[in-house]
Structures are given as C-alpha cells and as structure tokens.
Chains A and B, each alone.
Chain A
C-alpha cells in the first residue's frame, strides 16, 4: 500500500512538473508567435533606411538604402549612398537563395549561404540578423521571467549553423514587440546587444530605430527607418532578378 502511495506521488509530481514545463513552453511559444505577428503581420513594406556606423572612437559613417519586403522571405535591399556603394543591391528569396547585384559588373551573382554569419555591408548586423524569417521558425523559446513591462525569453537557435548559442530577448508585455536582444556566441559569451524603438504606423508597429552593438569591437550600428509604407500591394514580380538589375 505504502509502495503504491509512493508511486502515485512520484507519478503526480512528474505529471505536474511536465505540465509546468509544457505550460512554460506554451507561454514562451505564444509570446514568440505574438512577436512574429507584430513584426511580420504587414503583407509588404517599403521604406528608406539610414545606417549609421559608429566606431569605438565615436566616429560616424553613414550609408543609405531603400528596402522593399514582402511576407517573411522576400526582400530587396538597395544602397543609395555613399557613391562607392550606390546601386549595390541584395535580393533575398526563400530557402537561403540570395543574389548580389553590383552595377560595375552588370550582372547578378548568387551568394553562398555561408555569408549568413557575415556582417551585412559592414554593419554590426549579420545577414542572419537581417533575415526576415519568423523567430518561431528560427528559435526554440523558453520564458525566463516576466518583469516590469517585459517578458524575458531565452531563444535557442534551431540551426546548428547559427553563430549564436542563445539570444535573450525582452518582449513588450502588452504590444509584443522586441525591446532588446542579447546575443551569445557558442562559448556562451555575450557578443552583441540590440535595442529597438517601435512606433505605430497605421495598424502596425514599426521598428523605427534599431541599434546593434558589437561588444568585442565596441562598434555600433544604428538603422533608422523613414518613409515606411505598408501593404502597398507589392507583387512577387518585384522580388526577381529582373527587378534587382533595374
């Protein structure tokens, strides 16, 4: 009888612990899905971005570009300044298919997917960071805590190829936009810090200013969005090599 009781207790504890874990995971999954809903709910987006690169001495360099994006996996990023980079454009398509267009060569070039861990155009964002793939597809979330206005999530990359071991993301409790993120390398050392300022444009929250700091190099990149327009009805034809070269 005593034996049965002990078994029942152990079984119950296991069930409770399991359900707690499931509940935590569900919460974390729900939060991350809400983040994706906030970030990727527009059908398409067009805008301009000013990229400010700030080195450790505080010296600034500026780049300018236009962006068009459709859904979560189609994007054209085209530099307009400085002159040495004007016209260079990157087309990102589903399944890690990327093309680089350099006006000087007059043709597009496929970029190998190994570029994903590289810095994007000299910024502190990697191609991977810039990828518009939903977080729920890239990471397995765990809710660490809820404090003040934010949920704190620990995100573990699903892909072994990721340069990160984990990302600690703070998510606004009410509006579900990511407020900040800390990126850890494979040695579990914090290597980058990102912050975002969101404003509402129409029905959507827009990351008007994103800052990423490379802690090792003490180098910061600010991306400031302007002239953002949502749901303009951009067709798939806008995200082709034909358009990239125009």
Chain B
C-alpha cells in the first residue's frame, strides 16, 4: 500500500514538473485589498469591539496554457494589544501584533491526464452550496468563526481535489483532505458566542474550568476528510448531490471530571473534548422562476456513532473505592437535517431583495437543537451606483415555536456604502441585537455596535 502511494506521488510530481518545465514566461498578476474594519459598542463607555487591519495579497500566475498558480495571503493586525507588564513593551508581537495567514496557495492543472479532468493541489477553498453565504452543504473546509458577523467564512484546507466534466452540463467533483483541521472559534467580544452555557447541579459553583482536546490521530483512517459531489443542469435548474465523510469541526465534551475546591460548593471541571465523525449527505439547486432567483440547499448529518458525555463525580463523593459517573447522550446516532431556502429579485427601479430561511445554524447539531432563522436584505443603489443603501437587513430567529416571546432574537444590520473612487469603498453600518432565550444572537444583545469599514482594491 505504502509502495503504491509512493509511486502515485512520484508520478504526480513528475507530471506537475513536466508541466512546469514547459512553462512559458507570462505575467504574474498581483492584486489585493486593504481593509480596515473598526467597530465600537453603542453603550457607554463605547468600548472598542473590533479592530482589524488586513492586507490581502493575491498572486495569480498562468504557468502554462493548462496550469496556473494562485494564492491568497492575509497580513493583518487583529484585536487590541494586550500589554500587561513592562516586559511586554520589549515584545513587538504584543505591542503591535501582526500575523500572516496563507488562505489559499495551490496549483491547478486543467485537462490533467484527460482533457475533461481538472486537478487542484494545495491549500484551497472548496466552496459548496447554492445559497447565499449560509451553506449547510459547505463542510469540507473548516469554519473560520473568528468574526461571528461574517457568517459562513471558511479557511482553506491542504487538499487535493478534482473536477471531472462528463460534458458541459454534468460533472463530478472529488476532494481529499489528509489532515483534519478544526474550526477556529470567535475572538474578542464574540469569544463566548458559540459556547453553550454549562448547567450545574443546584448548589454548585464553577470556580475553575480546564480542558484538553483529543485530536484525531494523524493517520488515513482518523484524520482524513473526503467528499464527492455530482453537479448537473437540467430543465433550467442547477442541482447537485454530495457526500462528505468528515468530522464536525467544533469540539464536543465527552468526559467531565468534577473536583470540589472548597466546602461551599465550589468545583473545578476538567473536560475532555473531541471531534466526532459524521456522514453528510447534501443536495442543492438554483434557478429562476418567473424572474425570481430561487435556491434551496439541504444537508443530512448522520453521526457515525452516538456521542455520550460522561460526568465523573467520584471526587465529589470521596468514596474509598469505585467511581460515580453519570452518562448523558449529547448526540443520537440519527439523521438531522439542516436546510436553507432562498429567493432574490431585482426590481425595475434598481432595488434588490434577498430573503432566506435557514433551519439549523453553523453551531447547532442534533434533531432537537436546530433553530429557525429568517434573513432579509433590501438594498438600492443611487448616484450612478456610487451610494448603496441597505435600510432593511438582518434576521429574525426563533429557538422555540411554542414560546416565541421568550425564545427569539432580532438582528438589524442597516448599511450605507459609498464608492469614493473606483477602487475605494467606505461602509458604515450598525448591528443591533435583541432577544430572549438560548440562541446565538440573543446572547449578543449587550453588544450593539457601530461598524466602519474601508476597502481599497489594487
């Protein structure tokens, strides 16, 4: 097996290098974007909620007629300096933190081995789904949840993928990601947005929490993710059917050890977290009915096995021997379905309307834990498209239909954007949250904010 792999890798390298040696001199296209994203809370004393300054660099080079190189690099400063001692002043990484991120870097070979096959090798985004930004079927790349308001952002994965075109209307896409990469979680004021509140027995107070993550072993069976998608076009509609064998990118608690730290109910919890395996069957479609753009996308998640969380309370009872544990099922081995339906329309006066209904947000899992989200975006351009207003933008979320009054959230994100020049866009917007109950956006109601962005493309 190892030998076969080696031979395969050698052949691949040989073929790529043959392509590269054939390379003709052509221009390397460099483009990019400078983004500054500043947000402050509306509530006094108007704490700074977000500071991001990002330089995106894109390198695009056609190596030969049938191959190209592409990369996207982020150089950025995010967050606020966390200076706590004079020693920190000697550390430029603390005083002025910058980081470099390779979002994508791949070589793409067109007509590889046969003219109907395109292959992409390297760090890449494999974007699946027909819906707008919220794509239940987009599960190959890990979620980049750093900015919770930038729904659906993913990081690139080190992968090999291919597209085989049967004809101009039907194709098969496959992807193999050798190493599992978990999602990165929200930062700054959004840090706890996706962390569910911990319910403790009455009389207990959490004094300390530690955890360790059990990463999947780095071998073919444990760390790999693979996906296959069949795409087609029929009767005026695009559609696809897909399958992913992967892991949920957000960890789930499987073993908690409770330890008393004082005599008045204070406890510490040490938690073992892991990423469970799951099968994901997807389907999507997009088309136009009577001038209205329509799309639908659904993903059926089937955990490979039941996920059980064990609470080890042995230390609480100080028994001379044996252990006291409580098991609870965190996730049944049963299918749960996330889906989205959407439509958009361009009115004759230039107004654009986009509505979507989503069942099951990014972080939600299990049949009984999926909430309903209604999103709307109404925008119109003025002054030769220089000014764009989105007076109605946001969402309404219901987490329990039997008691909507206590289980809802409202998100209102009006936006004004102005193209100062062909390449410079200034965006001013606000994010207003309200709600009750246990859902991601009602938890943000103390974080109403103003946002300013400048994007300059070059």
A interface residues (Cβ-Cβ under 8 A, vs B): 53, 55, 61, 82-84, 86-87, 95-97, 103, 105-107, 109-119, 122, 161, 163, 217, 219, 236-237, 239-240, 242, 246
A42 to B238, CA, bound (A): 30
A159 to B328, CA, bound (A): 63
In the complex the two chains form, is B422's CB within 8 Å of A61's CB?
yes
A107 to B384, CA, bound (A): 27
A84 to B287, CA, bound (A): 27
A155 to B203, CA, bound (A): 83
A118 to B294, CA, bound (A): 18
Summarize B's interface: helix, strand, loop or mixed.
Answer: strand
CB distance from A50 to the nearest CB of B (A): 14
**Is B350 an interface residue when CB atoms closer than 8 A count as contact?**
yes
In the complex the two chains form, is A114's CB within 8 Å of B425's CB?
no
A84 to B344, CA, bound (A): 24
- The A/B interface has a contact count, at CB < 8 Å, of 84
In the complex the two chains form, is B384's CB within 8 Å of A240's CB?
no
B interface residues (Cβ-Cβ under 8 A, vs A): 31, 58, 68, 110, 118, 125, 127, 130, 163, 165, 168, 171, 236, 238, 286-288, 291-295, 344-348, 350, 384-385, 419, 422-423, 425, 455, 457-458
A83-B457 contact, Cβ under 8 Å, with A110-B288, A246-B110: yes
> 4 nearest interchain CB pairs?
A112-B293, A114-B291, A84-B457, A82-B422
Residue of A55, A97, A117, A161 near B384 (CB, 8 A) is A55
CB distance from A27 to the nearest CB of B (A): 33
A246 to B58, CA, bound (A): 15
A95 to B165, CA, bound (A): 22
A232 to B247, CA, bound (A): 49
Q: Which residue of B lies closest to A107 (CB)?
A: B127
In the complex the two chains form, is B168's CB within 8 Å of A240's CB?
yes
A111-B293 contact, Cβ under 8 Å, with A55-B384, A122-B385, A240-B168: yes
Residues of A within 8 A of B422 (CB): 61, 82-84
Residues of B within 8 A of A118 (CB): 346, 350
Q: List 14 A-B contacts (CB under 8 A).
A: A82-B457, A84-B423, A84-B425, A95-B236, A111-B293, A112-B291, A113-B293, A114-B288, A114-B346, A116-B291, A219-B384, A240-B165, A242-B168, A246-B110
In the complex the two chains form, is A112's CB within 8 Å of B345's CB?
yes
Q: Which residue of A lies closest to B129 (CB)?
A: A107
In the complex the two chains form, is B171's CB within 8 Å of A112's CB?
no
CB distance from A45 to the nearest CB of B (A): 20
CB distance from A117 to the nearest CB of B (A): 5
Q: Which residue of B lies closest to A240 (CB)?
A: B168
CB distance from A66 to the nearest CB of B (A): 14
A96 to B457, CA, bound (A): 31
A219 to B346, CA, bound (A): 21
In the complex the two chains form, is A53's CB within 8 Å of B384's CB?
yes
CB distance from B442 to the nearest CB of A (A): 29
Residues of B within 8 A of A112 (CB): 288, 291-294, 344-346
Q: Which residue of A lies closest to B32 (CB)?
A: A83
Residues of A within 8 A of B425 (CB): 84
Interface centre among B291, B292, B425 (most CB of A within 10 A): B291
Residues of A within 8 A of B163 (CB): 242
Residue of B31, B130, B171, B291 near A161 (CB, 8 A) is B291
Residues of A within 8 A of B236 (CB): 95, 97
CB distance from A83 to the nearest CB of B (A): 4
Residues of B within 8 A of A239 (CB): 168
A155 to B392, CA, bound (A): 39
A110 to B295, CA, bound (A): 9
Q: Which residue of B lies closest to A63 (CB)?
A: B422
In the complex the two chains form, is B346's CB within 8 Å of A115's CB?
yes
Residues of A within 8 A of B295 (CB): 110
In the complex the two chains form, is B346's CB within 8 Å of A86's CB?
no
In the complex the two chains form, is B125's CB within 8 Å of A106's CB?
yes
Residue of A87, A114, A117 near B293 (CB, 8 A) is A114
Q: Which residue of A lies closest to B287 (CB)?
A: A110
Q: Which residue of B lies closest to A242 (CB)?
A: B165
CB distance from A186 to the nearest CB of B (A): 10
In the complex the two chains form, is A217's CB within 8 Å of B345's CB?
no
CB distance from A48 to the nearest CB of B (A): 16
In the complex the two chains form, is B348's CB within 8 Å of A117's CB?
yes
CB distance from A235 to the nearest CB of B (A): 10
